[in-house]
Structure 1
Amino acid sequence: MPEIHLFARRADIESVLITLRDCLENSVHGLPVWIHAQGSLALALADALVPGRVQMAPADLWPNGDVILLAAGVRLPYGWDARLVGAAKLARGYATLSPLCRELPYHAPVAASVLEVSLDDADRIVLDGSLGEVWATPICSNACVLLFAKWVDPDSLQRWADAEQTEPFSLWLTEQNASHGLTDVVLVGAPDDFPRIALPEALSSWVAACGAINPLHYRQYRTHCFPPYLLDRRPVQLHVMHSWGGGLERWVQDYCKADTGRVNLVLKSIGNVGLYGQRVALYLGPEASEPVRVWQFDCAIRGTADHHPEYRRMLEDVISEFQVDAVIVSSLIGHALDAFRTGLPTVHVWHEYYPFCPALYIHRAGHTCSKCDPVALRTCRQENPLYHLFPTVLDEEWLALREQYAEAVLNNVVRLVAPTESVVRNYAALAPRLTKAEPVVIEHGVSWLEPGSWQPTVSTGRLTVVVLGRLSVAKGQALLDAALPEITGFADVVLLGCGDAGERYRHFKGLSVVPHYDALSLPTLLREYAPDIGLLLSIVPETFSYTLSELMCAGIPPLATNHGAYLSRIQDGVNGYLCPPDAGLIVRRLKSLDADRNSLKRTRDVLVADGHRTTQDMVADYHALLPLRAMAAGYSPRRRGLEPCEPGTLVGQMAGFPKPFRQALYDAHGYLRVKLSQSAKLRPWQRRGLQYLLELGMRAIYKLWGIAGRLS
């Protein structure tokens, strides 16, 4: 990394302090700063020195590497150092590299959109329209310039320091066969009275001729920068996830809403059953209705790839164009392990037990898996009804992927995060090698709005039990079927948010069915039904359970099966109740609680007193795990947008159908795919048949789509 040398050519201390303040506040690399000043000015600047960062340059100082030369009074925008250093990688063969400057005629863009706004706004516009190149210029800047190590010596520094030079510094270098480069990735500012370079008359015509063909004179810029957060000083995080919805998508949405201090982009994999990574789409946030980029892969990713050239190129494009500073992986389904190899700070959140477990839930034959060797994996494929999502991936590939995943995590210092301690324990048993990465527990937060000043109470009449959330095989629908006839004999039951599977229970007396509800209305619904206890029957080890959090936030004591996240989060008899996943034992525990309402009241009081963990609390923990500063990893110059880009314009859209229809088609396909795979109303042979028909029909639609795109 180069050193910064600030020269006090002007006698006033204020000019030096202005540039020094920009060096300290707007630099991201923390480069050392040497101040060149003499006499009373040097004494006056003593208070501005910072040990180890800002020092007064001794007379015999001779740097041994690249240096950035600054004149006092120059203004520097945010990230100027990272961008200049990044552009220097493209400046091979040049002696100097200068940024743009509106006050220097030879290095000034002439577009009105750049000249008529503040320096920060003009810098954003310039970067937005940059070509990501370095081109030759006849002279270097006398305001700010990067001087490469080959040309650094005491003589060159003295010539730069001399404000009254008879021969311009850049022409002195030219006489020694040096060339000068100019980059358009950063724009600096200079005072209105900043001295112009005095050219000898013999060279003025040459410089003027070069200026006549200066590309800056013809450059046009967009009126709206893309992405809109460009250079707003916030670090940028990229969330990697699938497009299946569910609790994972809720977590990403909650995280992004609560994280106002950073920009959060979302990269979703899109595909069909067995080919989950046919394409990926980039969104400027979790609630964006349209992607800003879509990449179609010639070779689709079936489950998760180790190395995937198309995916790697896509990721490099996203990181450089959208200035990504960190990666948060929520799911690797439809992605490649290249997401761990970007060189950026990276976190993998264990929302699921994938890619270790192709069934996602580490559950088989009524038990939580504590090991999975090749024989167990083969048996799981043949016998486990939860193993149906990856029909095209072989057992040998899963075993190899486990090793590749561990290598990628350990070799790239990926931080592993579990939402509960139970996930860490299960991974320690299944893949003990991953404990070397020292997984940490960061519990999810919940955004919960209480309806008014409601204080939950325990009824004295007939017991009311709520079963919250979707009904499926994994969520314990078989347990509910077995226990429900006896439960309705002594309690009223509310199936809240059970989906279409709730239709089969409407004939039960004392049972209410609410198939769907808006998430914001849940607190009000729970207040209206006023359940005494919530039933959580999942037969698989949950990694967190939002439904458990919702019951706790509402002050409703939960009765849950005794494994997974329930075992980590519930203290039996204190803030809830635990029971083995057996219908008879569940009924017996409910009857005992029905007879002991004081126990329910004590548990409810504990839940109300404990409060709940917010999404802001969760985000603060992730920020502590991933301390970031925007562009701290450097800047890679690239050709950015040149065409006009108005708000709402999709950049890089795919040919074919209009944007809303295209996205609706993706969403509908993904929804139907997941719906069929999880529907409790279908028998296995019915599910397989409908899945086949769905994929057959969608392939036909996509084929017609491709034809339409070529004809348009």
Structure 2
Amino acid sequence: MTASLKGTKLTAGADDKIRHVVCIPVRPGEEQAFLHTFSCVLNQNVIAAPVLVVDMTCEEDKVPGLIRSAGISSSNGHNDVFIEKVSHCKLDNELACALSIHCNGKFSAYDLLFVKPGIELPYAWDARLGKVAYSDPLVATASPMCDSSPLFSLLDSQTLPVTRQHITDDIDRTAYCLGHRVYYEIPGFFEGCFYIRADALKEINNLDELLATGKGLSGTWLAKRIRAAGRLNVICDHLYVGRLNNDSRTGTGQTDGNDLDDVEKAVADGHLLTYIRYAVGESIRKEACFSSMPGLEPKPVQLHIMHSWGGGIEKWVRDYTSAAEDSINMVLKSVGSSRVFGHKLSLFTDISDTYPVRTWDLSIPIYSSSIAHLEYQRIIQRIIREFSIDAVLVSSLVGHSLDALNTGKKTIIICHDYYPFCPAINIYSNGICRTCDEQRLNRCISENHSDLIKGNPTISDEGWMTLRDRYLQLIESQAITMIAPTDSVKRNMSALDSRFSRADFTVIPHGLSIEKRDLEPAITSKHQKMRAVVLGQLKPVKGLDLLRNSLPELCELIDIYLVGCGDAVSTFLDDDSCVRIIAEYDYGDLPRILEEISPDFGLLLSVWPETFSYTLSELMVFGIPPVVTSLGSFADRVKNGVNGFLFEPNKEALVESVQALVKKPEKLEAVRKNLSDYSHRSLREMVDDYRRLLQLGKAEAARYELCIGTDIGLTEPYIRLHKSYNKLIKAYERTYQAYDRVHQAYKQRTNGYNQLQQAFEQLQKAYTSKESNLEKARGELKKAREEIQRIHDSFYWKVGQRTQKVGRLVRGIIEKK
């Protein structure tokens, strides 16, 4: 077999560091499949390797013309494409043709990345195979997973039909996220797509002789020769390639497994990929999706630490991730109950993911927060290595350990509240806490009804003082930056503990993504009284008691609309005629709800110092004058009489403020006019501030580490477990098929029985009807007989009496004669 030495170069640019060439053979009849795969190669690679097209069509200028007419271009813009036309070869052995050109041509020093037409390639397929190929000097070939053979398949027979609507990228993303970034030895390589090192080819005996004739050179032979040379064929658990139009063959040369040899069958029966097959299959059946591929995409990876309660922290993380498109934002949530907040940890590739990518059940639960937790420490260190974490953003340590602050990575704390310094979160215990020594902390733990305190049997003033000390030590030793949404946070924390005055505080106000809209106020409409809206949940610290105590006076002045207050509030306030309640609402409906209410002003009644307040932002964006307590972020953000109104957090001050506005509505109009020019900072502006602070820079593609996962299945008991599991799966499939057949037969018999039952019921109904009619007829017949008998008896009696009289008369006459 010979090949032309002259190559047709279609695009320019080369990289001296590149060590492989991508090779695509194309045979007659494979032109469209070739174009599909060729496009994948150019657009899904991250390494600008040269592309070698082996033209086996035997038609002059066929392949170059196809490429030009298709207008295919490389997304990275610098791939060199060469076309080598084969003049004589055995057309059904494209592997031999490709190896011949590779080993005898200008690319002999390069590794070979071979891919057949019809294969669909996902993002960074080339970098992943190359990383595995060079993970160990003994590795000769690296193969992806593909559903063309039992040795390489990812999806089982039950999952495959579900994936008809899934594209290769989606399945590959799931495999990458759920895989452990490991590889396993297998007897051969996937002939549809594989990476083979140049040094391994040189170690194969008699390869040149076989290439000269092209006879006897097959993938199976090559794999055996590789093993004979002491080299390895491996498959990776974090790369999946698909097939054009889900064609199970796609010209890959693979089979359904009937012709596997004994070694291959043994591997297929107890395959080490069983765990990833099961995980991916379950995720597809649950319709789980993962938003990102940490460590693979060329983006820095940030890990958000938070609880799973929802609320303002959830909103902030969602807002941040939606605007931080140039980074990957993973989320580690603590999951628990109302008494134990850290039963387990769930890791998500993004806050929008419906299912976690990893879950850990903690053998020792975390009630509120732990000073140190060995299991948690190992988990977070594994996350950092396995998912290439660059920075840690802590939004809440509820259900977490302080080990989250000691990872060695750039760490910042976003002060959404005052936890963990304050075990009650909001520095409120029968009033705002201005100081908190051990004695006051002891009283707080005894008297405070906060969920974080009352259900925690491990909490004590001594233990929490130790936690505080460790918290502040880590902030200092790890150079952790504290993010304050407003200046009040630093002031309050420094007043509580002077050590906070030495901390590195940076003020970054939250951004907001909501369309500005000026609403028509109620006083200009036909309402009899002014309307006030109270946004958000109402709890004691949010002013529930303040509102309840003030209602008799407020109801004489205004109507009050509670929007998003929660169902529990109705038991306290529903009897008041001036109160209207919308307990829950979808955030997207807020503009419509406010427009329908058309409030004159908004009331925010928090008796604890809020750190920011999204509800205040929403009121101002909609041009609704806020009337708020003069605490925390309210006092920082509201200038009295300019963009809102401040009052002391007590009943008298609240009622007096409302009375003043009712008497002089022009004050509201002045503030409303000022708010018409109000512009809230955007999410992009907020994220840019964090970007400048973190300074993470650019990240390389495919920078993940291999073999970080501990459950890699390299031990003999694990192999046995998976073999047994695989047998159980097959037995289950057979049982399910048998059950399905029995179930179908049962359904048929049931249908027949139901039809018979219906016919029987109809006959029984007809019989009952006829029986009823017959019984009725019998009754009527009996009555008729009785009547006849009565008539009969009556007739003969009357006739008999008259006959007797006649008889006597006749006898008398006769006797006289």
Superposition TM-score tier, normalisation by shorter sequence: 0.5 to 0.7
Q: Contact conserved, 1:99 with 1:188, CA < 8 A, in 2?
A: no
Tell me, yes or no, if structure 1 residue 398 matches structure 2 residue 464. yes
Q: Contact conserved, 1:464 with 1:493, CA < 8 A, in 2?
A: yes
Structure with the greater alpha carbon radius of gyration: 2
Q: Contact conserved, 2:638 with 2:646, CA < 8 A, in 1?
A: yes
Give the match for residue 679 of structure 1. none
Tell me, yes or no, if structure 1 residue 98 matches structure 2 residue 146. no
Amino acid at match of 1:565: S
Q: 1:178 to 1:72 in 2, by over 3 A?
A: closer
Q: Aligned pairs, how many?
A: 613
* Superposed displacement of residue 564, structure 1: 1.4
Equivalent residues in 2 for 1:299-448, closer than 5 Å: 299-311=364-376, 329-339=394-404, 348-363=413-428, 366-367=431-432, 369=434, 372-374=436-438, 377-378=441-442, 380-381=444-445, 388-389=453-454, 390=456, 392-406=458-472, 417-427=483-493, 430=497, 439=506, 441-445=508-512
Give the match for residue 492 of structure 1. 558
Q: 1:379 to 1:35 in 2, by over 3 A?
A: same
SS state of the match for residue 540, structure 2? coil
Equivalent residues in 2 for 1:215-294, closer than 5 Å: 215=268, 224=281, 226=283, 228=287, 240-249=305-314, 251=316, 267-273=333-339, 275-280=340-345
**Bigger Cα displacement from structure 2, 294-303 vs 245-254:** 245-254
Q: 1:320 to 1:485 in 2, by over 3 A?
A: same
C-alpha separation between the residues in 1 aligned to 2:479 and 2:211? 53
SS state of the match for residue 474, structure 1? helix
* Superposed displacement of residue 603, structure 1: 1.1
Q: 1:179 to 1:8 in 2, by over 3 A?
A: closer
Give the match for residue 4 of structure 2. none
Amino acid at match of 2:579: V
Q: Contact conserved, 1:560 with 1:566, CA < 8 A, in 2?
A: yes
**Bigger Cα displacement from structure 2, 184-193 vs 131-140:** 184-193
Give the match for residue 185 of structure 2. 136
Q: 1:81 to 1:342 in 2, by over 3 A?
A: farther
* Superposed displacement of residue 421, structure 1: 4.2
- Equivalent of residue 545 in structure 1, options 603, 613, 626: 613
Give the match for residue 541 of structure 2. 474
- Equivalent of residue 238 in structure 2, options 182, 185, 188: 185
Q: Contact conserved, 1:6 with 1:36, CA < 8 A, in 2?
A: no
Give the match for residue 580 of structure 2. 514
* Superposed displacement of residue 377, structure 1: 3.8
* Superposed displacement of residue 602, structure 1: 1.9
SS state of the match for residue 19, structure 2? strand
C-alpha separation between the residues in 2 aligned to 1:572 and 1:530? 22
Q: Contact conserved, 1:101 with 1:190, CA < 8 A, in 2?
A: no
C-alpha separation between the residues in 2 aligned to 1:54 and 1:374? 71
SS state of the match for residue 666, structure 2? helix
Equivalent residues in 2 for 1:568-647, closer than 5 Å: 568-610=636-678, 633-634=704-705, 636=708
- Equivalent of residue 123 in structure 2, options 47, 55, 78: 78
C-alpha separation between the residues in 2 aligned to 1:93 and 1:514? 73
Higher relative contact order (CA 8 A, sep 6+): 1
C-alpha separation between the residues in 1 aligned to 2:210 and 2:404? 50
Q: Contact conserved, 2:332 with 2:347, CA < 8 A, in 1?
A: yes
SS state of the match for residue 605, structure 1? helix
Q: 1:24 to 1:532 in 2, by over 3 A?
A: same
Q: TM-score, normalised by structure 2?
A: 0.56
CA displacement, residues 145-203 of structure 1 (integer Å, 9 cap, x when unaligned): 375xxx9699779x999994789987776565444433343245899999999xxxxxx
Q: 1:501 to 1:183 in 2, by over 3 A?
A: closer
C-alpha separation between the residues in 2 aligned to 1:568 and 1:630? 43
* Superposed displacement of residue 357, structure 1: 1.3
Q: 1:24 to 1:440 in 2, by over 3 A?
A: farther
Q: 1:169 to 1:343 in 2, by over 3 A?
A: farther
* Superposed displacement of residue 576, structure 1: 0.9
CA displacement, residues 226-263 of structure 1 (integer Å, 9 cap, x when unaligned): 26566775669876543545444555677788999979
**Alignment gaps of 5+ in structure 2:** 1-15, 54-72, 83-104, 295-300, 714-721, 730-817
**Bigger Cα displacement from structure 2, 579-588 vs 235-244:** 235-244
* Superposed displacement of residue 542, structure 1: 0.5
SS state of the match for residue 98, structure 1? strand
Q: 1:576 to 1:9 in 2, by over 3 A?
A: closer
C-alpha separation between the residues in 2 aligned to 1:406 and 1:24? 52
C-alpha separation between the residues in 2 aligned to 1:409 and 1:632? 29
CA displacement, residues 120-139 of structure 1 (integer Å, 9 cap, x when unaligned): 47756876997976443456
C-alpha separation between the residues in 1 aligned to 2:309 and 2:333? 13
* Superposed displacement of residue 443, structure 1: 0.9
- CA-based RMSD of the aligned residues comes to 6.2
Tell me, yes or no, if structure 1 residue 7 matches structure 2 residue 16. no
C-alpha separation between the residues in 2 aligned to 1:101 and 1:288? 24
**Alignment gaps of 5+ in structure 1:** 38-46, 198-205, 646-712
C-alpha separation between the residues in 1 aligned to 2:149 and 2:569? 72
Q: 1:196 to 1:407 in 2, by over 3 A?
A: farther
Q: 1:189 to 1:539 in 2, by over 3 A?
A: closer
SS state of the match for residue 443, structure 1? coil
Q: 1:50 to 1:164 in 2, by over 3 A?
A: farther
* Superposed displacement of residue 519, structure 1: 1.9
Equivalent residues in 2 for 1:34-113, closer than 5 Å: 69-71=112-114, 76-80=121-125, 83-84=128-129, 94-100=138-144, 108-109=152-153
Amino acid at match of 1:277: G
C-alpha separation between the residues in 2 aligned to 1:6 and 1:51? 18
C-alpha separation between the residues in 2 aligned to 1:234 and 1:352? 31
SS state of the match for residue 143, structure 2? strand
C-alpha separation between the residues in 2 aligned to 1:633 and 1:428? 41
Amino acid at match of 2:365: A
Q: 1:568 to 1:215 in 2, by over 3 A?
A: same
Amino acid at match of 1:473: P
Q: Contact conserved, 1:378 with 1:395, CA < 8 A, in 2?
A: yes
CA displacement, residues 403-454 of structure 1 (integer Å, 9 cap, x when unaligned): 444565677787754444433554566476697666452515365797xx95
C-alpha separation between the residues in 1 aligned to 2:403 and 2:623? 43
Q: Contact conserved, 1:458 with 1:532, CA < 8 A, in 2?
A: yes
SS state of the match for residue 538, structure 1? coil
Give the match for residue 145 of structure 1. 195
